[in-house]
Structure 1
Amino acid sequence: MENQTQETQSTTTSKPKRTRRPSKRPRSHEENTIEASASTEVEHTAAETSAPKKSQAKAWSIDDFIVPEVEGKVRFHDLNLPDRVLKSIAEMGFEYCSEIQAETLPMTLQGYDIIGQAQTGTGKTAAFLVAMISDFLDYPLEEKRPNNFARGLIIAPTRELALQIADEAVKLTSNCHLNVVTLVGGLSYEKQKIALETENVDILVATPGRLLDFARSRKVQLGKVECLVLDEADRMLSMGFIPDVKSIIRMTPHKELRQTMLFSATFPKDIQALAQQWTYIPKEVSVVPKEATNQNIDQVIYTVEADQKWPVLRQLINENGGQRTIIFVNRRDETRDLYERLRKANINCAILSGEVAQDKRVKTLNNFKEGIIQVLVATDVAGRGIHVDNVELVVNYSLPDDPEDYVHRIGRTGRGGEVGKSVSFASEDDSFMIPEIERVVGESIRCEYMVNTSQ
């Protein structure tokens, strides 16, 4: 929802703040086609001087990306995006904007700051990436700068989330010259240092700690950042990263001289205050449904004795065949114990927790995405970084200590309009959390008492 205080601002302050972009105007289809054709002709001319003559390939145009108009839906066609971005979007299989994309892109493409409330799985990553990439293509650098000066900076709370944002950024820049660099802890510092020295840092995706290390040693420069994105700000707060983030933001240009996009699933008072501090006359957008949880998720709580959890879980997994499943536990030692039980039961599984080395966590997550691994056993911190489509089942082996974590956990399933299921075990140790969880989700959750489940 748009910031209500903005209505009282003068007409000058209600305009996009980036005055160096005053001439941004809608480009006609003919202009886009001429630009694409001219670019192709230059490439062919250069190729002809050094290679045998080949039949000319037809330049890609928006006519190759046919998407019918549908009432109530916004097509990417309708947003005046550069053809190179549209081509990447077409190659990724997208046609219509998600709600957060439809709400934010018309404003961010004009240079407005955004405070967005959206849960994971809503398409917010593409929302801020499309805006950033389009802006960089429409307004290329006017002078050469050293490689390590970042143009766009995206800060994420977890390594897994940062790597997945970077992966999507690489796909969206596959048809242009923009380069993506990732700085996260747990992976080779030396390789990341070499990337900063040898590659243009057009889009920098980073976690706070590793980024601050590089920034303080001046191996990466943030003084010319044009666009700043803070993703999952509430999680950065809960993980204690806000002091690092404040230090990083002080290294970037003043908020009036950069575009800032801040996204968060929840907005506690601390995040509300920081959002206003870090943005300049922002537009506010919320696409969180009235229900705190996705209505595509079938939720059930099994009330069980502590010693029933394992046989019920094994039965549940066996009944669901090869479905992609995430099991959440509260402690690292529980992940190890449960993993050993699953492995001995010949269930294809892996661990995702803070005690697992980062390179192995990345490999595990990729194997889970590709279907090589069926079941993940995860803790909350590691699980928050799991952004994988087609997760059919989420199991809360123990109810979370924080009711908000319940929403984040089950949000791993039912993403992108798919139907999912969550099963939570409640024993005498944690069943007192059920009313608190129901209060947070805003509805009663079906409870079933499990008996005679041992095999």
Structure 2
Amino acid sequence: MLKALKKMFGKAEDEQPQPAPSPAVAPAQSRGADDKRPRKNKPARPASETVSDSPAPQQPRPPKAEKPRRERPAKPVDNWKLEDFVVEPAEGKTRFHDFKLAPELMHAIHDLGFPYCTPIQAGVLGYTLKGQDAIGRAQTGTGKTAAFLISIITQLLQTPPPKERYMGEPRALIIAPTRELVVQIAKDAVALTKYTKLNVMSFVGGMDFDKQLKQLESRFCDILVATPGRLLDFNQRGEVHLDMVEVMVLDEADRMLDMGFIPQVRQIIRQTPMKGDRQTLLFSATFTEDVMNLAKQWTVNPAIVEIEPENVASDTVEQHVYAVASSDKYKLLYNLITQNAWDRVMVFANRKDEVRRIEERLTRDGVSAAQMSGDVPQHKRIKVLEGFRAGHIRVLVATDVAGRGIHVDGISHVINFTLPEDPDDYVHRIGRTGRAGTSGTSISFAGEDDAFALPPIEALIGRKIQCEMPPDELLKPVPRRH
């Protein structure tokens, strides 16, 4: 498959990656408060990047006086030296030391406890640090977020920003399909930039627009992480201009296709510099024909990095299936959780009403639980995730809105209360545990209503999952609470 993809993008099998110059950034023109000229007269898009549906015209930015430059103060380095980050070479492993990364970035990587690169990081960084476009296929939990963030941070540290620019002109843009994923990427970006002066911002729908606007007006934006719809809101109001974007990342491209976001993404990309004048990185859990067509439109001579394409389910996750009557599912769930010392468990169900009922019953029966679905307001979802991370919430019950992009350390078990209709969702669900080389366990309940979903899942992961009958002690009645 990898050979076919390389052929599609015109690569010879033995071609070695060539260094490419970092994308040049044209300095912004200084404009007075009364200057209402267009931002830039850009050349017409090549046919591969034009679309029939024209975006709504941008509103002109209201005239305003230039604001003084305000940068985030870098965190003191406490006399830290690269020599303090000792990682011995190991056969078959790539160290972050093997790349030319800035000391400020290496300090943050050291704080996060990442001595060696994951396979996707090692594969991608060898190309992207040279300025080359890249397409990466990797399952969630493999470290791909850090791969593109390290590349972005290196680019921005190596290329000084223009002396005059507006607050709403990001130098790096990351587009992700869900609010939870945007929040997680932004959190990782803040952790990796804490010893630099780079500012990270995130824009998502469902949260206070004016509050997000105030952060944009308070300081320069270096790295912007956003969902497509909210980014277009800011762009079309003239609050965000994308003509200085040096690096653009599309994360979970297959998910964006599934959710119908591609027309919005096209509108956004048309506001950025032309391909070739920006570095473009695209990541996807699957390389469908549609995903590769998008990649061909938006990238130039991309490196193609594919991690474990034959193994869609992680070997670090031990998988079990219990054959159980639908009427006994809740008893089985309750007993599994209460009879074991599991501190952090995710439970998945297909429908929002199922999620609500499960969470309500667990809470009533004395189990600390919270729910995550499309019915939960965004501000509450963020609080729920923080409570789950902190250990205040033992069980998070969710629909597939939380199936991708949620990285919470220490999830020991994932339980599929109902099997998903889409086999890909099964892979993403169980990917919440066993992340980045740690071990985890998934337990699926196959009842009379959803057992039909098991064969397609087994076909996707390439192996049978033995069905088990739950032991009697796991089917004991739930004790009544007074």
Residue aligning to 2:72: none
Please say if 1:196 is aligned against 2:238: no
Secondary structure at the counterpart of residue 197 of structure 1:
helix
Residue aligning to 1:130: 150
Q: Which amino acid aligns with 1:254?
A: M
Report which of the two has the higher share of helix. Answer: 1
Secondary structure at the counterpart of residue 256 of structure 1:
coil
Give how far 1:319 is off: 2.2
Please say if 1:113 is aligned against 2:126: no
Give the alignment of 1:200-215 within 5 angstroms. Answer: 200-215=220-235
Please say if 1:299 is aligned against 2:319: yes
Distance 1:106 1:122, change over 3 A: same
Q: Which amino acid aligns with 1:449?
A: M
Give how far 1:142 is off: 4.0
Secondary structure at the counterpart of residue 88 of structure 1:
helix
Give the alignment of 1:129-278 within 5 angstroms. Answer: 129-278=149-298
Q: 2:445 aligns with which of 425, 429, 439?
A: 425
- Report if aligned partners of 1:14, 1:281 keep a CA contact under 8 Å in 2: no
- Report if aligned partners of 2:21, 2:130 keep a CA contact under 8 Å in 1: no
Residue aligning to 2:47: none
- Report if aligned partners of 1:352, 1:383 keep a CA contact under 8 Å in 2: no
* Alpha-carbon distance between aligned partners in 1 of 2:150 and 2:17, rounded to the nearest angstrom: 25
Please say if 1:16 is aligned against 2:20: yes
Give how far 1:450 is off: 3.6
Please say if 1:441 is aligned against 2:461: yes
Count matched residues.
Answer: 420
TM-score by length of 1: 0.88
- Report if aligned partners of 1:335, 1:377 keep a CA contact under 8 Å in 2: yes
* Alpha-carbon distance between aligned partners in 2 of 1:115 and 1:325, rounded to the nearest angstrom: 33
Secondary structure at the counterpart of residue 337 of structure 2:
helix
Residue aligning to 2:89: 69
* Alpha-carbon distance between aligned partners in 2 of 1:218 and 1:447, rounded to the nearest angstrom: 57
Secondary structure at the counterpart of residue 20 of structure 2:
coil
1:193-228 C-alpha deviation (Å, 9 max, x unpaired): 111122111000001111111011111111111000
* Alpha-carbon distance between aligned partners in 2 of 1:173 and 1:258, rounded to the nearest angstrom: 21
Secondary structure at the counterpart of residue 11 of structure 2:
helix
Secondary structure at the counterpart of residue 191 of structure 1:
helix
Q: Which amino acid aligns with 1:447?
A: C
Q: 1:7 aligns with which of 11, 20, 28?
A: 11
Q: Which amino acid aligns with 2:467?
A: C
Residue aligning to 2:103: 83
1:260-302 C-alpha deviation (Å, 9 max, x unpaired): 0000111221111111111111000011352210011111111
Secondary structure at the counterpart of residue 284 of structure 1:
strand
Distance 1:135 1:331, change over 3 A: same
Q: Which amino acid aligns with 2:428?
A: H
* Alpha-carbon distance between aligned partners in 1 of 2:249 and 2:396, rounded to the nearest angstrom: 29
Residue aligning to 1:286: 306
* Alpha-carbon distance between aligned partners in 2 of 1:254 and 1:13, rounded to the nearest angstrom: 22
- Report if aligned partners of 2:133, 2:301 keep a CA contact under 8 Å in 1: yes
* Alpha-carbon distance between aligned partners in 2 of 1:243 and 1:84, rounded to the nearest angstrom: 38
Residue aligning to 1:39: none
Identity %: 49
Give how far 1:441 is off: 0.9
TM-score by length of 2: 0.84
- Report if aligned partners of 1:13, 1:281 keep a CA contact under 8 Å in 2: no
- Report if aligned partners of 1:233, 1:263 keep a CA contact under 8 Å in 2: yes
1:377-405 C-alpha deviation (Å, 9 max, x unpaired): 00002332421121111111111011111
Q: Which amino acid aligns with 1:448?
A: E
RMSD across aligned C-alpha pairs, in angstroms? 2.1
